[in-house]
Homo-oligomer: A and B are copies of this chain.
Amino acid sequence: MAPTHPADSVGMVTPQRAHFDEPFQFANGSVLDRYELVYETYGELNAAADNAVLICHALSGTHHAAGFHESSDKRPGWWDMAIGPGKPIDTRRLFVVCSNNLGCCDGSTGPNTPQPGADKPWGGQFPQPQVRDWVRSQKQLAERLGISRWAAVIGGSLGGMQALQWAVDFPDWVEHCVALAAAPGLAAQNIAFNEIARHAILSDPDWREGDYLAKGTLPARGVALARMVGHLTYMSADGMSDRFGRELREDSFAPDSSNEWVFQVESYLRHQGARFSTQFDANTYVLMTRALDLFDLAQDYGGDLVAAMSQAKARFLVVSFSSDWRFPPQRSVEMRDALLAAEKPVTYANIETDDGHDGFLLPNHTYEQLLREWMRRVGPS
């Protein structure tokens, strides 16, 4: 019997793989002689190839944005909420592409894939990608797929930064640009959180200068800590209070051994950290957080965000989330104001939520309705 999925699911999907035999030069000068991108697509590219939408993933995301890989999968792709037949990004009309970024650890060329000419994975030798590099590699993939213009480029957080970079770097390619819970560049506090996460990994004795795979170790303690820091900053203070309060973990109260006292929130964070540490590559975490830190949309324009935005030809949707303190609404307002100053069409909304930075991934009626209505303008009518 065929597995049953909800009617608005894209259903079973199979990741695909694109090989590129030409070299790829990173913004920092490093070169890959050849590379691979793993990706998924949902829906059908139409004959005019004018219904293609690119989804850009965030720090710990993958190419698996929607649907299921196995009929036994308990959870669908990371943005299944938004992608599917009848969903805001409607696969009955749109052809959706999501690729794993270069330097990530889910199948595209990255630190955990073999280094040519070496008998080991890239490890700490993998080049530092920047957001603009991902945009250029995604363009290679698009051309391979017969696409020469995106009806929309969409992303949240680090994914939103890719969407913005696309609109600025390749104006003729981007008809609509959706940046969710993003920022035009990181502030010092944000860089500091990333630095702590990296420092946790780099100071783990099992890090072995990034060569842990070749050396048979795993800096799991460092990655767990890094994830705990990250996870904590994606939630809002109020959201955490509502969810965890000051509740002690069941059976955790041991008066004679008081170090055993464990609050629910501690137990939760430890669990999240431990789970992540065996699933995610440490080098990728370092590269991705560094790419976040280095992102600066205005960099090529003397720090002038309006000048950067002036390049774009897209129509923009900018969404912030009221309790997001990692990329606070103020940063989205900066982008809205720069777009308005550059006389670009922009819709801006600040979604009231206690979900913090994670808000862009979580169900919220207002947010979903906004995305649904705005997306109606995307693609052929």
Which residues in A have some Cβ–Cβ distance to B below 8 Å? 28-30, 124, 127-128, 185-189, 191-193, 195-196, 199-200, 203, 205, 221, 224-225, 228-229, 232, 235-237, 240-241, 243-246, 255-256, 258-259, 261, 263-266, 269-270, 273, 286, 290, 293-294, 296, 325, 328
Q: How far is the CA of A205 from the CA of B35 in the complex (A)?
A: 38
Checking B195, B264, B265, B270 against A265 with a beta-carbon cut-off of 8 angstroms, the contacting residue is: B195
Chain B residue nearest to A26 (CB atoms) is B258
Using Cβ atoms and an 8 Å threshold, which residues of chain B touch A296? 246
Contact, CB under 8 Å: B128 / A259: yes
Contact, CB under 8 Å: B225 / A187: no
Given known pairs A225-B199, A225-B203, A269-B196, the reply for A189 and B240 (CB within 8 Å) is yes
Using Cβ atoms and an 8 Å threshold, which residues of chain B touch A29? 255-256
Contact, CB under 8 Å: A246 / B189: no
Using Cβ atoms and an 8 Å threshold, which residues of chain B touch A245? 188
Q: How far is the CA of A193 from the CA of B325 in the complex (A)?
A: 15
Given known pairs A256-B28, A258-B127, the reply for A225 and B200 (CB within 8 Å) is yes
The A interface is mostly helix, strand or loop, or mixed, namely helix
Q: What is the total number of copies of this protein in its complex?
A: 2
Using Cβ atoms and an 8 Å threshold, which residues of chain B touch A185? 246
Name 19 extra pairs, CB < 8 A, besides A28-B255, A196-B269. A28-B258, A128-B259, A185-B246, A186-B246, A188-B237, A188-B241, A188-B243, A188-B263, A189-B232, A189-B236, A189-B241, A191-B244, A191-B266, A192-B240, A192-B266, A200-B225, A229-B229, A237-B325, A259-B286
Q: How far is the CA of A374 from the CA of B293 in the complex (A)?
A: 45
Using Cβ atoms and an 8 Å threshold, which residues of chain B touch A270? 195, 199
Chain B residue nearest to A128 (CB atoms) is B258
Using Cβ atoms and an 8 Å threshold, which residues of chain B touch A192? 228, 232, 240, 265-266, 269
Contact, CB under 8 Å: B265 / A191: yes
Q: How far is the CA of A127 from the CA of B189 in the complex (A)?
A: 35
Contact, CB under 8 Å: A263 / B189: no
Chain B residue nearest to A130 (CB atoms) is B258
Between A and B, 16 residue pairs with Cβ closer than 8 Å are A124-B259, A128-B259, A186-B246, A188-B241, A188-B265, A189-B232, A189-B237, A189-B240, A189-B241, A196-B228, A199-B269, A199-B270, A200-B225, A246-B296, A258-B290, A259-B290
Checking B124, B259, B269, B294 against A195 with a beta-carbon cut-off of 8 angstroms, the contacting residue is: B269
Chain B residue nearest to A222 (CB atoms) is B203
Q: Nearest 7 CB-CB pairs, A to B?
A: A128-B258, A188-B240, A195-B266, A188-B244, A189-B237, A203-B221, A188-B265
Using Cβ atoms and an 8 Å threshold, which residues of chain B touch A259? 124, 128, 286, 290
Chain B residue nearest to A293 (CB atoms) is B263
Given known pairs A28-B256, A258-B128, A259-B290, the reply for A246 and B199 (CB within 8 Å) is no
